[in-house]
Structure 1
């Protein structure tokens, strides 16, 4: 979603969204919520449709640039590696750029995945199995860390591996799922590596933040007093625009006092104060009675969207399905957003939310058929909710 929420990027296997879509694979699109216009993104600069699946799209703040992952080999000239690559499409000029390449222009020798963009689109973070993107990348066996995190500077062409210790030592295990701050300085990611920071002895994956300016690496999936988590913390962390707050989900039960629900929860770490807050609670503070996952923050870190199996985060949640919620960290209020406009509960699972910069708009995937009138395709769809709009009949 763009910063103001007027544009939403998504990927779809549907062949009837655009005329002439006959490539029979996943494509990336951008929807303009104001005009209703739909634009095909995963096409070459001359308009040729991609000949392989494209997915995992993200937008720059103003929506001009779209980064995505694709196995298509015809989006740019000379793509001969037969692997997933990361591309950036300029919606204004139509130019498509492949960014998952070495600084000297060599193809990556393996796949690259799940891009994240700085606000202006200059920096692109992604994770890759390729071992030839930077010199001295020797941690290529799966057991010893086949996946690394990289940041491409589209202005200078420089490519940096960020999943390394402060002294430059390679991670000894996989690093995945980067999120990048608005200015591109801070990168949050999950890693199985135990050598990125001193004292990492818990033998589970953790969430880290790399400061690209100083080279410092910080482990954020710790208690407020610095104790290690006793369970996994890694998939899909999200960093606020200024890099101060990092949201993540964790199976650890010791990150905050009183965590007795025995399921994954969502947390936010304040890197300035060291405070750690559990987010997946009811507004009265009751623990969720089901697992919660994949948080995303507003730009200032105040609002956080996540999806949850819990049925007790808000009153009258009786649909027994995954739902999307937004928590206001300032007031403690929890809002159930995967509802129809009249407040009717969804009749299917909803997940993977994204917030606009101010948190007003929420986009998410849903299997529900009753969120809007006329939804009869029986397929997974993308929806947006304006949280400022009045709910109910």
Structure 2
């Protein structure tokens, strides 16, 4: 039995008058990237919200579930939970990483003790997360088919903040150096060939948060100390940026899996940078959270907290749809291709019927 689904939810489209879209020029120009994602998206499941953090038989979670990332076709979702009843053999209070197959309803425990939210490959076969190992942190890669995880090849004391390519072959992550850490670099590991490329090095440990495109060609990242966002191209090893220009500071959100768009924050606004043209769409007074694999849909949280907590914008049409009216949050990889599905977490107990566990749960909203 699948989790409860609210089929009474109607599709709500808002005009963009409350957050106008402005196109502005940006100096950096990069060539476009071909998509490495699956061509199709999951078949229509009907509009509504489904609770994901339930056991395969529909039993409610007895622990808090957080995070949530979805594959490009909407077929698989990864999240973390402290529940002990989601799969057999769980230990009370142990934070676990779970992969859920939407088509079959199967749920797998694929890792333990994650720090932060796990991420997922575009094809849904792999999840990546980072864990604490004594005084250090390491990145692990979990596979749906095998149901087990391997350690990412990292020669630094601490590795963290992974991002996966479309087929999971390339893993971008942060490696910090020294104890206590005094510097860091951004690496891309090709685990098929067991080779590593160093993209950038910084003499500080301010956040750098890499985000890799689906084909592994582009990696967007930030210099958290300077407040700049850059894009690295694996084809020629070049780096372009800062893409926000010299006059303002920025923080990275995510590069779309087709490599066409980079979302970044600057001040109270969100910008969607077009890699090929070097221009950017300004979405004012919102916090961008994720972009879909095609670069066409932006998930954001309005800075105005009197309305919905999560919205999905069609960047081409300039229209908005409500993802959640109740307090909710979401991270990167939260939107499937074409904006068909959005994963989020919330402690609200009235998003779906029968939510009586009093815990934080992970949900997915389907748009028809």
Report if TM-score (shorter chain) is over 0.5: yes
Does 1:363 pair with 2:299? yes
Per-residue deviation, 1:208: 1.1
Q: Which residue of 1 aligns with 2:125?
A: 122
Residue 157 (structure 1) shift: 3.9
Q: Note the C-alpha offset of 1:212.
A: 0.2
Alpha-carbon distance, 1:91 to partner: 1.7
State the match for 2:361 in structure 1: none
Q: Flag the 1:203–1:390 CA change in 2: closer, same or farther, 3 A.
A: closer
Would you say the 8 A contact 2:313–2:319 is kept in 1?
no
Task: From 164, 185, 203, give the equivalent of 2:154.
Answer: 164
Aligned twin of 2:50: 39
Q: Summarize the alignment of residues 50-69 of structure 1 with structure 2, pairs less than 5 Å apart.
A: 50-69=61-80
CA contact (8 A) 2:161 2:173 kept: yes
CA distance in 1, matches of 2:45, 2:304: 24
CA displacement, residues 106-133 of structure 1 (integer Å, 9 cap, x when unaligned): xx4x44542121222111111112xxxx
Q: Deviations over 1:37-90 (max 9, x none)?
A: 110001111112212221110001110111011112211111016221110112
Structure 1 residue 213 corresponds to structure 2 residue 192: yes
Tell me which of 86, 90, 109 is aligned to 1:79: 90
**CA distance in structure 2 between the aligned counterparts of 1:34 and 1:337, rounded to whole angstroms:** 30
TM-score by length of 1: 0.65
In the other structure, the counterpart of 1:327 is: 273
1:141 pairs with one of 130, 134, 151: 134
Q: CA deviation at 1:391?
A: 7.1
Contact 1:190 1:234 in 2 (8 A): no
CA contact (8 A) 2:83 2:92 kept: no
1:175 paired residue among 159, 169, 181: 159
Residues in 1 aligned to 2:227 and 2:71: alpha-carbon distance in whole angstroms? 30
Structure 1 spans left out of the alignment, 5+ residues = 1-16, 20-31, 101-107, 130-139, 166-170, 196-201, 222-227, 253-262, 310-321, 339-345, 370-374
> Structure 2: which 5+ residue stretches go unaligned?
1-5, 9-42, 321-368
Q: CA deviation at 1:277?
A: 1.6
Q: CA deviation at 1:302?
A: 2.3
Deviation at 1:280, TM superposition (A): 4.3
In the alignment, does 2:355 pair up with 1:382? no
Q: How many Å apart are 1:33 and its aligned residue?
A: 10
Give TM-score scaled by structure 2 length.
Answer: 0.69
Contact residue 163 and residue 175 of structure 1 kept, 8 A: no
Deviations 1:143-180 (A, max 9, x none): xx1x2101112223452211423xxxxx32x2111111
Secondary structure of the structure 2 residue equivalent to 1:287? coil
In structure 1, how many angstroms separate the alpha carbons of the residues matched to 2:103 and 2:317? 31
RMSD (Å), alpha carbons: 3.0
| Count of residue pairs brought into register by the alignment | 282
Q: 1:335 to 1:376 in 2, by over 3 A?
A: closer
Q: State how far apart, in whole Å, the 1-side matches of 2:272 and 2:304 are.
A: 19
**Other-structure match for 1:103:** none
Does the aligned pair in 1 maintain the 2:224–2:251 contact within 8 Å?
no
* In structure 1, distance between residues paired with 2:61 and 2:252: 29
After alignment, is 178-187 or 229-238 more displaced?
Answer: 229-238
The structure, 1 or 2, with the larger RCO (C-alpha pairs under 8 Å, 6+ apart) is 2
Match of 2:264 in 1: 306
Aligned match of 2:331: none
Deviation string 1:265-304 (CA, Å, 9 cap, x unpaired) is: 11111122121122442xxx4421xx32233112232211
Q: 1:64 & 1:272 partners in 2: Cα distance?
A: 30
